Amino acid sequence: MKYYVYGAGGHGCVVADAVEASGGVVLGFLDDTADPRAQRLYWCIIRPREVDESAPRVHGIGANGVRRRLQEASPIFGNVVHPAASVSRYAVIGAGTVVLAGAVINAGAHIGKGCIVNTSAVVEHDVVLGDYSHVAPRSVLLGGVHIGVGVFVGAGAVVLPGMPVGDNAVVGAGAVVTKAVQAGERVVGVPARRLCK
């Protein structure tokens, strides 16, 4: 399959590499903020307005709100699953989701649309990951966790079994979530405590 990657930053390069590793072809990066004369690794940068709107694309942008805005405006987004990821055949993955190298998604997990399951992240059995959420590298969502829409789970964070994390919450890097996180809260530390809302 041939794709355009939305976003020419570092995350976009990781996604482009995953596209090629999975047998796809990267047609170029779509990015209004980058210099179109520049080249990012081996791929060219194209302004989005210069591309046929029917062309398939994948998310190369880490910001949850930006991914949501792009996917809701142009729903032609494909999934990318790096071949070095382990995804159960009993897991469900929504449109526009990116699963990177070393990630594990186990049986019964339900991943929403426009999500990122980043490098070496673990999504255990029966987890629900809401639309446009980002599970950063080496973070772990244990069994039965329910993550809302637009949530960011920082690198190395752990959410203990069954704990809910509300919409648009942020779990800081290395935090250990031992109790419910409310919508919009930012939590840090071990055990995770509220920083602000």
- At residue 18, the 3 state secondary structure works out as helix
Report helix, strand or coil for 59: strand
Output DSSP code: residue 181: B
A 10 A CB-CB count for 174 gives: 16
CA distance 46 to 58: 14
With tokens 């069954």, the residue in question is 162
Q: What is the largest CA-CA distance in the chain?
A: 49
59 counts as catalytic: no
Q: Which of 82, 125, 134, 146 is catalytic?
A: 125
Instruction: Record the tokens describing residue 164, joined without a space.
Output: 């809910």
Cα 10 from chain centre: 14
Residue 75: CB atoms within 10 Å: 11
List the catalytic residues: 125
